[in-house]
């Protein structure tokens, strides 16, 4: 099962350059890629597609604002909240080593994303970070706060188009994601440390609280980031109080 270890990238860029054949890219660097819109990356998937709270907030707002007529299993979807988005399109589980609640797209239909229709993503303009970024991946050096990208396309049209990283991020509406991604990895790292302090019984009591606070507790009419910061603080305060003072808080 995929875990937080696979979404936290904390190598130093120098270490990364030394270890792989991919060169770390800055925003003005170019890479070659042109998507052929085959939908291949949304089908027959063996690897989970993890969603963070900003992905969920953006996707739900997108569906609501456009009043999209989505269906699942032939039935219309009533999308009123992040919780309804998760109920319709996602699964969640406790990360095996991180102990963090992990949200993924529901791939139980032979590995096909439930948001794929006629080879097209139904939330194209608000698709998850990991989908929009492809073929780019990202690296964060937590020591220096340096943020960088790398590219390793394994698909696309034969005729390749040169792209700059900056333009790719802008077109995918991902320029405002960087601050959040750094914050997300830092905060989830802290939450994981506290969750691992708990014994299994206490963790079972906490996991639903952490899931609801981290992923669901957002007013879609308010800015996302302040709400995310508030939610992380709520979780960390409670875990801190419980682990250091033994308060029964759940």
Interface with ligand SF4 (CB under 6 A):
35-42, 49, 105, 113, 115-116, 121, 127-128, 131, 134, 155-156
Minimum distance from CB of 27 to ligand SF4 (Å)? 21
| Farthest CA pair distance, the chain | 62
Place of tokens 């990202």: 138
Shortest spacing between CB 169 and ligand SF4, in angstroms: 16
Cβ(140)–Cβ(18) below 8 Å: no
Residue nearer to ligand SF4 on the CB measure, 7 or 235: 7
130/243 with CB nearer ligand SF4: 130
Q: Pull the structure tokens for residue 171.
A: 């077109």
Cα Rg of the chain (Å, integer)? 19
- Using the minimum distance from each CB to ligand SF4, give the nearer residue, 162 or 196: 162
Least Å distance between CB 15 and ligand SF4?
A: 28
Smaller CB distance to ligand SF4: residue 15 or 111? Answer: 111
Q: How many CB atoms lie within 10 A of CB 243?
A: 15
State in angstroms the smallest separation of the CB of 213 from ligand SF4: 24
| Shortest separation between residue 16's beta carbon and ligand SF4, angstroms | 23
Q: Are 112 and 43 in contact (CB under 8 A)?
A: yes
C-beta of 158 vs 246, nearer to ligand SF4: 158
Least distance between ligand SF4 and beta carbon 208 (Å): 25
Compute the least distance from the CB of residue 176 to ligand SF4, in Å. Answer: 19
CA distances to 50, 191, 209, 239, 240 from 245, rounded to whole Å, are: 34, 17, 19, 10, 8
End-to-end CA distance of the chain: 27
Residue number, 14 or 37, with CB nearest to ligand SF4: 37
Buried b (16+ CB within 10 A) or exposed e, 79-114: bebbeebbebbbeebbbeebbbbbbbbbbeeeebbb
Say which residue the tokens 């492809």 belong to: 134
User: Other CB atoms closer than 10 Å to residue 171's CB: what's the count?
Assistant: 11
Q: Which is nearer to ligand SF4, 18 or 159 (CB)?
A: 159
105 Cβ partners below 8 Å, 6+ apart?
A: 48, 49, 51, 89, 90, 91, 113, 114, 115, 128
């Amino acid at each position: 099962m995929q875990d937080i270890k696979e979404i936290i990238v904390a190598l130093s860029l120098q270490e990364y350059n030394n270890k792989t054949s991919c060169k770390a890219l800055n925003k003005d660097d170019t890479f070659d890629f042109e998507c052929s819109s085959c939908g291949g990356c949304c089908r027959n998937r063996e690897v989970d597609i993890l969603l963070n709270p900003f992905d969920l907030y953006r996707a739900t707002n997108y569906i609501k604002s456009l009043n999209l007529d989505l269906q699942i299993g032939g039935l219309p979807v009533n999308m009123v909240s992040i919780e309804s988005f998760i109920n319709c399109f996602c699964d969640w589980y406790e990360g095996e080593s991180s102990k963090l609640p992990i949200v993924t797209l529901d791939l139980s239909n032979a590995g096909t994303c439930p948001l794929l229709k006629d080879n097209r993503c139904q939330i194209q303009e608000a698709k998850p970070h990991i989908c929009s970024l492809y073929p780019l991946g990202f690296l964060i050096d937590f020591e220096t706060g340096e943020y960088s990208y790398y590219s390793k396309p394994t698909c696309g049209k034969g005729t390749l188009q040169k792209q700059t990283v900056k333009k790719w991020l802008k077109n995918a509406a991902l320029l405002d994601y960087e601050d959040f991604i750094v914050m997300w990895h830092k905060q989830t790292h802290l939450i994981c440390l506290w969750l691992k302090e708990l014994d299994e019984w206490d963790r079972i009591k906490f996991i639903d609280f952490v899931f609801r606070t981290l992923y669901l507790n957002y007013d879609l009419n308010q800015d996302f980031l302040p709400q995310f910061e508030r939610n992380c603080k709520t979780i960390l305060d409670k875990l801190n109080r419980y682990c250091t003072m033994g308060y029964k808080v759940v």
